[in-house]
C-alpha cells in the first residue's frame, strides 16, 4: 500500500487541528484544486488513515469538576481476568480512556467525575470492590495539555 506523501501529511496535520475546515480552504492551504483535495481526503478515509472526527467539549461546561488517573494492579494476569476487568472499566461512563500497560501497573484509567465524593464512590464501587483488583492508586489531574496534531514519521502507512 502506498505511503503518505508530503501533501497527505499536510492534509492530516490540518485536519487533526480542525476537522470542520471547508474543503475549499483546505485545498488552498495545501495547494491543490478542490476536487483533487477532496479525492485525497476521501482516500485517506477509505484506507482507514482517518478513522473518525470528534468534537472537543469543555469539561467544566459538562459538569465535570474533577478528573483523575487511576492506576490499577490486578491480582492475576490471565487473559480472562484482564479482559474481564477491561470490559467492566470501559463500560463505566466516567471512564473516558483505558490504557492497558506493561510494567508495574496494569491499567491506567482516565476518569471524569462531578466532584471528590463522586470520585470516591466510583473508585470504591467500580474498582476497589472487584475481586481481580489487587491495588488501586488514584492521582488527581491538576492540568492537562494535548498536542493538536500527532507526529507523522516518514515511510508511514504500513498496512
Q: Enumerate binding residues for DNA (CB under 7 A).
A: 2, 7, 22-24, 31-40, 42
Site size toward a second copy (CB under 8 A) is 68
Using DSSP's 3-state secondary structure scheme, residue 110 falls into strand
C-beta neighbour count of 84 within 10 angstroms: 15
Q: Give the span between the Cα atoms of 149 and 159, in whole angstroms.
A: 21
CB of 91 to a second copy, least distance (A): 9
CB of 41 to DNA, least distance (A): 7
* Sequence-separated (6 or more) residues with CB below 8 Å from residue 70: 107, 108, 109, 111, 123, 127, 136, 137, 138, 139
Q: Give the span between the Cα atoms of 132 and 108, in whole angstroms.
A: 15
Query: Which partner from the list DNA, a second copy, none does 77 bind, CB cut-off 5 to 8 Å by kind?
Result: none
Nearer to a second copy, 19 or 39 (CB): 19
Q: Does 96 sit near a second copy (CB under 8 A)?
A: yes
Nearer to a second copy, 1 or 129 (CB): 1
Q: Among 6, 46, 79, 154, which residue interacts with a second copy (rule: CB under 8 A)?
A: 154
Q: Give the span between the Cα atoms of 74 and 83, in whole angstroms.
A: 11
Query: Which partner from the list DNA, a second copy, none does 6 bind, CB cut-off 5 to 8 Å by kind?
Result: none
Q: How many residues does the chain have?
A: 159
Q: Does 140 sit near a second copy (CB under 8 A)?
A: yes
What cell numbers appear for 76 in the block?
492475576
Query: Which partner from the list a second copy, DNA, none does 47 bind, CB cut-off 5 to 8 Å by kind?
Result: a second copy
For residue 7, what are the β-bridge partners? none
Binding site for a second copy (CB under 8 A): 4, 12, 15-20, 47-65, 69, 86, 90, 93-105, 108, 112, 114, 137-148, 150-159
Amino acid at each position: 500500500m502506498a505511503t503518505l506523501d508530503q501533501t497527505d501529511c499536510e492534509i492530516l496535520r490540518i485536519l487533526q487541528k480542525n476537522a470542520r475546515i471547508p474543503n475549499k480552504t483546505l485545498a488552498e492551504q495545501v495547494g491543490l484544486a478542490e476536487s483533487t483535495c477532496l479525492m485525497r481526503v476521501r482516500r485517506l478515509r477509505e484506507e482507514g488513515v482517518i478513522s473518525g472526527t470528534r468534537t472537543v467539549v469543555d469539561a467544566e461546561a459538562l459538569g465535570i469538576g474533577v478528573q483523575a488517573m487511576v492506576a490499577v494492579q490486578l491480582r492475576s494476569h490471565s487473559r480472562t481476568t484482564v479482559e474481564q476487568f477491561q470490559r467492566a472499566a470501559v463500560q463505566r461512563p466516567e471512564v473516558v480512556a483505558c490504557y492497558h500497560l506493561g510494567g508495574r501497573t496494569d491499567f491506567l484509567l482516565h476518569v471524569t467525575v462531578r466532584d471528590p465524593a463522586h470520585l470516591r464512590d466510583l473508585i470504591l464501587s467500580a474498582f476497589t470492590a472487584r475481586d481481580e483488583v489487587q491495588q488501586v492508586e488514584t492521582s488527581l489531574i491538576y492540568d492537562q495539555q494535548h498536542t493538536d496534531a500527532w507526529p507523522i514519521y516518514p515511510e508511514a502507512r504500513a498496512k
